[in-house]
Amino acid sequence: MMLGEMAMNDAEWLRHWCAQHVKATTGDASAKAESLVKKAEAAAARDGFSLDDAVRAEGHASPVEYMLSVLSLRANANPKRGGSKA
């Protein structure tokens, strides 16, 4: 963490990471979620956070489940990219 930055917990780190890296997508959401989990695990380890702890704090059973949820939210927020506003 850089000087002057506020301390961040695992869940805050995960929300921030997802905001920067998860975009609405079309196609196989499961494959995209698996790919995002691998990237998030590497980034969390690099930054000193626990992806598993963050996912649990956000109320999800697994990182893949969490990423599927985020992908669904992004798709619903961007209906032009294949999502729907139901």
pLDDT tens track for 7-62: 689 999 999 999 999 988 888 999 999 999 999 999 999 999 999 999 999 999 99
Question: Does the residue 3 lie in any domain?
Answer: no
Q: How would residue 6 be classed by pLDDT, with cut points 50, 70 and 90?
A: low
What is this structure's pTM? 0.79
pLDDT at 7: 63
Integer CA distances (angstroms), 67 to 21, 23, 33, 60, 63, in order: 11, 11, 5, 10, 6
Look up the domain containing 53 and give its range. 27-81
- Is 1 within the bounds of a domain? no
pLDDT given for residue 71 in this prediction:
94
Provide the number of structural domains found in the chain: 1
CA distance 55 to 66: 7
